[in-house]
Amino acid sequence: MAYKTKQDKLKYHLKWKKLRRDKYIKENGPCWNCGSDKDLEIDHIDPLQKKIRAGDLWSRSKKVVAQELSKCQILCRVCHAKKTYGIDKKRIMKLRYMARRSR
């Protein structure tokens, strides 16, 4: 496929990435937590296992994508935010606990 400009190429690339992402979400949704089909996002179940950000993932090879997605779940924006907040809260509590112990 020939592109007229660099911008055309970039636009096509972004569109293609979005299509791949949308297809995955459609096939694996709705939200695993509450069943909502609004504002669905890809979430790494265990953030420590995350190697590639979901946004960067779709330009990688099929094998890499499949490997990374096997560590992910589909969450709606609300559940995703709740999960992220919950993890941060746990981490903060752990840090506080460790700080207390080292005193």
Element housing 75 (H / E)? strand 72-76
Choice between 10 and 81, CB closer to Zn ion: 81
CB 50 within 8 A of CB 44: yes
**Number of continuous H segments (helices) and E segments (strands) in the chain:** 4, 2
Calpha distance 60→25 (Å, rounded): 17
Burial of 5 (0-12, 13-18, 19+ CB in 10 A): exposed
Choice between 42 and 79, CB closer to Zn ion: 79
Q: How many residues bind Zn ion (CB under 5 A)?
A: 6
The answer to whether residue 14 forms part of the interface with Zn ion (CB under 5 A) is no
Least CB distance to Zn ion at residue 54 (A): 16
* Structure tokens that stand for 5 in this block: 């400009």
Binding mask 36-65 for Zn ion (x = CB under 5 A): x-----------------------------
Choose, by CB under 5 A, the member of 24, 29, 31, 43 that binds Zn ion: 31
Choose, by CB under 5 A, the member of 28, 33, 71, 83 that binds Zn ion: 33
Note the residues at the interface with Zn ion (CB under 5 A). Answer: 31, 33-34, 36, 76, 79
